[in-house]
A and B are shown apart, each in its own frame.
Chain A
C-alpha cells in the first residue's frame, strides 16, 4: 500500500533527450571529423586537440570553483567547445597557444557571461578570435595534409615553448617532399593567387586548412546525424549555406573569372564546419521560426562579403560572431503571431 504520497507539478511526463544527452551526441558527431583531421595531419593535430579540450575542461572547472558552484563538466558542453576550437586551428599551431585559446574560449566566451546558456557568442569562436588577434602568424601557418612523417614526429612549431616564437615550418615541409606546397589554403590561394581548387577535393577533404574544416562530407554527415535525432536546428546551417550561395551566385555569373563559383564558396574554408556546428549553437541563436532563417541567411551573406571584399581570406568566424550579436535583436522583431491575436504586434 502507498506509504508516501509526493507532490509534483504537471506535466508529469517528460520527453527525452536531456541537455547532457544532446551535448554528448554533438560530441559523437564531431569525433569522425576530429579523427579525419588526425589522419590528415598526424601527431601534431592529435595532441593539439587533446591540449585544447583539456584546457577547456580545466578552465570550466576552475570557473566553477571560483563561482562556488558544482562542477558543470558533466553537461559535456565544454568538450564540444574544445573539439570545435581545435578543429578551427591550424594543425601545427603551438600547443601552448592552443591552451591559451581554450582558456579564452571558456573563460571569456562562456564563464564570464554566466556559463552554459548565457553566452552571447559561440565560445569556440571567441577563443579562436582571441588567438587570431594574439598570434597572427601562427594562426596562418599551414602545413600540408598527408605529410609522410606526420605520425612519426611533431611539426617543429607545435612544440614551441610558452611565450616563445614557434620554430619555422618551411624546412619541415620541404623534408616531407610534398610537391609544390604553397603554404596557402584553398581560400588564400584563390584570394591572393587567383587559383581555384577542385570542388571534389574540397568536398572529400584532401586540402590544406584548419585541422577539421577540410572534409565537407564528414561535417555534413555529422550534421545530418544531429538533425535526424532532432538535436540540432537544421534550418540554421541550411539558411547560412543558402545565404552564402545566393550571395556568391550573381557575382560568379557576372564575372566568373574574378569570383569563385558558389560550390567553391560552400566547400572551402570553414563555412561548412561553421554553419553546421557553430552557427547552429543553440545558445547564441534566435528561437523564433522566422528569426532562425534570417539569422542563418545573414551569416551566410556576411561570410561572402568578408571573403570577397574584406582583408582576410576567410570570413566565417566574424560572420558568425556578428550573427550572434544580432541574434537577440532578430528574435525580438520576429515574435510569431499567437493564436487568437488579431494583428501582428511586436514586442518592444
Chain B
C-alpha cells in the first residue's frame, strides 16, 4: 500500500498473465434468432432443481414462468420464447450426466416482445420484498457460478455488511460480455447496483474493473454523481482477478476467512452482468430469459457478443455464427475455468458467459505429454491462494486425499487453473484436485 499504489495498480500477489484474446471487445451486443427447439434444463443454478409448472402440449408465452423454485435455495425458470411445450425429459448437460429439461417448440415467427410481467417500483419496496422479487426473476450469478442471487444478497442476521463489491474484472481470456454490458447497459447496471445495495443493506458499492477496459470505467464514471456511494476502481489486469475473494482483498484489504463467506468480512459480491439484468428486469417484473454470451474462437466465422435466449442449443448457435473447423473443444465459460461439452445438444444456460470454440491444437499447446514433477515451483509462484500445488500434486499421485485436505488446504483451492497453466510438466493439477475433493466428499458422506 501507499507508495506502491501510486506506482502501479492494485492487485494481488501471484496469479498469471495468459494472452487476452479479447478480439470481440469492440463488437456490440447483437440478438440471436430463436432456435426452432429450445432445451431448458430445470437445474441451471446452484441448489435444488426447479419444479415444472407446465405439461407437454401446453402453450406458453415468452417470459411466462414454466418452473417454480423448489425452496429458498432455488430459482424459477421462464419461457425464453412463445411456443408449445413438447416434452420434459432427460437431455445431455454440460456437467456430464443427463439432466431433466423442458423441451419447447418455438412458434415460427414468434415475437421478441416479452408478453409477461408485472411492473414494480423498487424504490418503494422493502429490502425483503426486493430479495423475494429478485428470486422471482430467476436470477443467478451470471459470471459463471450460477449461485442464486437472492441468496447472495441475504445476509445472515448476525452479520453486518457495509460494502457491495461489483465484479467487472472479467479476467478470463476471450470473454467480453461484462465489458460490453458495462458499456451498453450502463444505466441498467447502476440501477441494479442501487437495488442490490438496498436489498443487502450495504452503504457503498465499489465496482472493480481490470485496467484493460478503460472505456468501461469511463462510461460508468460519467453516470455517477460526485458524492455517489458507488465508485469505480481500476485493478491490474491479471488472472484470476475476478475471483471474488481476491477482488475483496484488492479493493478493501479484507481477507475472507478460509472456508468462509464474504459477508463475514462485511461484503456482498455480485457480477456486473447479474446486476445489470436485475436493473432491467426487476422494475418490469420480468424473468431472466436471455443473456449476453461471447461466442468466439479462432475458427468461428462471426465471433461476437450475442444476446442468446436461454435454452438455445449449441448446434444452432454454431450454425448461426458459422464455424469452419471440424474437430473441436467446445468450452462453456472461459478457457481457464470453463468446461467442455460432449454434445452439440447442450443448451446455453444461465451461468454460461461464453462459448469458446478451440481447435484441436491451441496455438500455444505444448502437446499432451506429461512429465514427472520437477519441482520447479512455478505453480507455487502462481497460486493466488498461496497453496503448494506441487506438493498437492505429488500427494494426489499417491492418493493421499485426506492429507491433502487436512494439511495442505485442498479445500481452499477454487480451481482457477493457474497451476496447470504454468506447469512445464503438463501435469493436470486442477483435475487431480477436483478428483481429490470429490473423493473426500464421498468419503465424508
Contacts and interface: CB of A to CB of B under 8 A. Distances in A.
Interface of A: 1-22, 75, 114-118, 233, 282-285, 287-289, 292, 331, 335-342, 347-348
A10 B338 contact: yes
Q: Which of A6, A16, A342 has the most CB of B within 10 A?
A: A6
A125 to B, nearest CB: 17
A338 B407 contact: no
B405 to A, nearest CB: 12
Given A12-B331, A13-B364, A339-B385, 17 more contacts: A4-B326, A5-B329, A9-B431, A13-B18, A18-B426, A19-B424, A22-B424, A115-B372, A117-B425, A284-B375, A285-B375, A331-B391, A339-B255, A339-B386, A339-B412, A340-B412, A347-B408
Q: Which of A1, A19, A341 has the most CB of B within 10 A?
A: A19
B84 to A, nearest CB: 28
Nearest to B356: A12
B421 interface: yes
Interface stretch (B182-190, B203-211, B273-281, B341-349): B341-349
Contacts of A288: 377, 380, 388
B249 interface: yes
Nearest to B256: A340
A189 B362 CA distance: 58
Contact of B258 (A233, A283, A342): A342
A341 B329 CA distance: 37
Nearest to B18: A13
Contacts of A17: 366, 424
B336 A348 contact: no
B28 interface: no
A95 B365 CA distance: 42
- Name the 10 nearest CB pairs between A and B, nearest first: A117-B372, A11-B417, A287-B377, A340-B258, A12-B335, A19-B371, A4-B327, A18-B366, A9-B431, A11-B336
Q: How large is the interface on B (under 10, 10 to 19, 20 to 34, 35 or more residues)?
A: 35 or more
Contact of A2 (B259, B328, B376, B423): B328
A5 B357 CA distance: 10
Contact of A19 (B340, B374, B380, B409): B374
A78 to B, nearest CB: 14
A7 B327 CA distance: 11
Contacts of A9: 340, 428, 430-431, 434
A284 B255 CA distance: 34
Contact of B366 (A6, A7, A14, A75): A14
Contacts of A336: 380, 386, 388
A75 B371 contact: yes
Nearest to A284: B375
Nearest to A7: B340
A13 B319 CA distance: 25
Contacts of B258: 338-342
